[in-house]
Amino acid sequence: MSVNRDILITEVALRDGSHAINHQYTVEQVVNVARALDEANVPYIEVTHGDGLAGSSLQYGLSRTDEMELIEAAVSVCKQAKIAVLLLPGIGTIKHLNAAAKLGVGMARIGTHVTEADVSAQHIARSKELGLETIGFLMMSHMASPNKIVEQAKLMESYGADAVYIFDSAGAMLPKEVAERIRALKQSVGIDVGFHGHNNLSLAMANTLAAIEEGATRIDGSVRCLGAGAGNTQTEVLIAVLERMGICTGVDLYKMMDLAEDIVAPILEVPQEITKNSLVLGYAGVYSSFRLHAERAAKKFGIDSRDILIELGKRKVVGGQEDMIIDIAAEISKRNSRGGNQFAF
């Protein structure tokens, strides 16, 4: 049964939320969450390692369960929702995309750094050849001007993308900045425009509403705020807000509330909240998935994880450069040991 929707919601807890639980999803958890989301009439459900297809590695974090098993399990229990996969060129390959397509996914989301859309050409083209709905992501969008973002979005559009997203990967953007970028895209491309927010500055909802007001029609959310950093725009809250605004998503609010409370909450080791480290992610403009990496490095070297995150922001380190976290932690540790207590008189 088709549903008329003003806004298309993609639920990302089974992908972005993987960061928050150290990529430890089990088949049973994915089945339970995906089935409940499908029954709530969520149109798209993203399922992969937090860093996309083939992300399971020492650098990005090892998955407890092979992502292809998780994808296959999610596909098997969904009657109306399309299962989506994330692919970051340089991590995932055409081979991984082909394998996911054979399992029955309906959407591929191809993400690049905001200034590197050109590396997505073959992946977007192959996704379209496979008959998949194909989305282009411009990640870390706070690091580029609206004009640069338009330039990069047009590349993705020329490769065949059905939509292009502004990705506030660091949760660093302000509503005005989101509005400027979405407005520029709406004026310049002929495909759908979407937004993916993070809540590190407690602005995910405000930024999402700013995007919608400027014409974004595809929105990402994570149920119970289960995502990297302080999480994403909280899906069940977003559904309620949009209903208050008279905007249709076709998603069942009560079922989303029950799913959040009864199925997703028990998966979280601790509730998602804006901790000092997730706040620093947004403040410094650092990739949201870096939080747990920085916390582990800080513990290893006996330093403050905030110092690592601030330095990462100063150096404009982006996703794919996780190996620099240890290097920076070691540098800070050496500097501290040479200089002693920086606050001593």
Are both 83 and 184 inside the same structural domain? Answer: yes
- Residue-level pLDDT at 2: 62
Segment 8-19 shows an average pLDDT of: 97
Are both 197 and 319 inside the same structural domain? Answer: no
Are both 246 and 152 inside the same structural domain? Answer: yes
The CATH number for 234's domain is: 3.20.20.70
Are both 315 and 256 inside the same structural domain? Answer: no
Q: Based on the structure, what is the number of domains in the chain? A: 2
Are both 176 and 85 inside the same structural domain? Answer: yes
Are both 247 and 303 inside the same structural domain? Answer: no
Q: Which residues of 27-40 are buried (b: 16+ CB within 10 A; e: fewer)?
A: eebbbbbbbbbbbb
The answer to whether 169 is annotated as binding is yes
The answer to whether 198 is annotated as binding is yes
Are both 193 and 307 inside the same structural domain? Answer: no
pLDDT at 12 over 80: yes
Helix (H/G/I), strand (E/B), else coil: 295? helix
> Tell me: the pLDDT tens digits for 240-295?
999 999 999 999 999 999 999 999 999 998 889 999 999 999 999 998 888 888 88
Contact in structure between 204 and 198 (CB atoms under 8 Å): yes
Asked if the structure places residue 345 within a domain, the reply is no
Q: Which residue do the tokens 């929702």 mark?
A: 81
The answer to whether 16 is annotated as binding is yes
Catalytic residue among 19, 49, 123, 293, which?
A: 19
Are both 159 and 294 inside the same structural domain? Answer: no
The CATH number for 300's domain is: 1.10.8.60
Question: 89 is written with which tokens?
Answer: 């060129």
Asked if the structure places residue 141 within a domain, the reply is yes
Asked if the structure places residue 248 within a domain, the reply is yes
Are both 260 and 295 inside the same structural domain? Answer: no
Are both 135 and 21 inside the same structural domain? Answer: yes
pTM of the entire structure? 0.91
Active site residue 142: no
Are both 217 and 84 inside the same structural domain? Answer: yes
| Residue 293 belongs to domain spanning | 289-339
> Tell me: the pLDDT tens digits for 300-340?
999 999 999 999 989 988 777 787 898 999 999 998 887 75
Are both 333 and 261 inside the same structural domain? Answer: no
d(CA 193, CA 183): 10
The answer to whether 23 is annotated as binding is no
Helix (H/G/I), strand (E/B), else coil: 89? strand
